[in-house]
Amino acid sequence: MSEEIDGGVETTAPIWPVFGDLMSVLLGAFVLILVGVIGVQLELSTKLEQEVKQRQVETQRRKTLEQALAGPLAAGRVTLVNGRIGISGNVLFALNSDQLQPEGRELLKSLAGPLTAYLHARDEILMVSGFTDDRQVREANRRFADNWELSAQRALTVTRALIDDGVPAASVFAAAFGSQQPVGSNADDQGRAKNRRVEIAPVPGPANAAGKARE
């Protein structure tokens, strides 16, 4: 009778080996996930460290540029608003002229080095913009047809001076605004003097601008 009972019982496979295999799989998956998380953290840490160093370098460049501007700013020869360097036309040029005065030439020479350092490793270029007041060019001055041409020639003169002093030619260009975009009133001499100016401002480089256009 016992033999018949024993013969009718099915033999079951031990569960422990299966459990051990499952634990091995889970442990392997955990190790892979852990390795992945550590890898991501290391990558993020490296990127963060690089960004911190880059910011420190850029901060130092800005400080160098600000130091170069400190004297002219204190003397009222230039302004610095939202990263745009404004240089009084009276400092750079005589009235209705596009020829640099000695004071203006020395000022541009002092700015060329810091501006070049500021642009280094940045996808930016310098826009040199010429502006005038609203008074028309004197009839006796036949070199310029109007304020547009005068502002264009002044911007070109400053651009060429910066290039001569070391700013890469590919990193600077000239623009003319004539009497448009005044910063002061053209109703008095003081306001008109403010409007006769040249501005130097960093703008996105061609590659950066093309990337934004595609977005």
pLDDT at residue 13, rounded to an integer: 55
Side by side, which strands form the sheet with 197-204? 78-81, 84-88, 197-204, 124-131, 172-176
Residue 43 inside a domain? The answer is no
Question: Considering the domain boundaries, does residue 8 fall inside one?
Answer: no
Alpha carbons 171 and 28: distance in angstroms, whole number: 54
Q: Show Cβ contacts of residue 168 under 8 Å, excluding neighbours closer than 6 positions.
A: 116, 119
Domain that includes residue 117, residue range = 55-214
Predicted pLDDT of residue 170? 94
Based on the structure, what is the number of domains in the chain?
A: 1
pLDDT for position 39: 81
**Per-residue model confidence (pLDDT) at position 150:** 94
pLDDT of residue 139: 62
**Within a domain: 28:** no
Residues in the chain, pLDDT under 50: 209-215
- 105: in domain: yes
- Which residues lie across from 72 on neighbouring strands? none
Q: Single out the residue of 108, 111, 154 nearest to residue 131, CA to CA.
A: 154
For residue 92, being part of any structural domain is answered with yes
Q: Assign residue 102 the CATH number of its domain.
A: 3.30.1330.60
Residue 110 counted as domain residue = yes
Please check whether residue 44 lies inside any domain of the structure.
no
Q: Which pLDDT tens digit goes with each residue over 49-71?
A: 878 777 776 777 677 777 777 88
Q: Is residue 49 part of a domain?
A: no
Torsion of CA 21, 22, 26, 27, to 10 degrees: -30
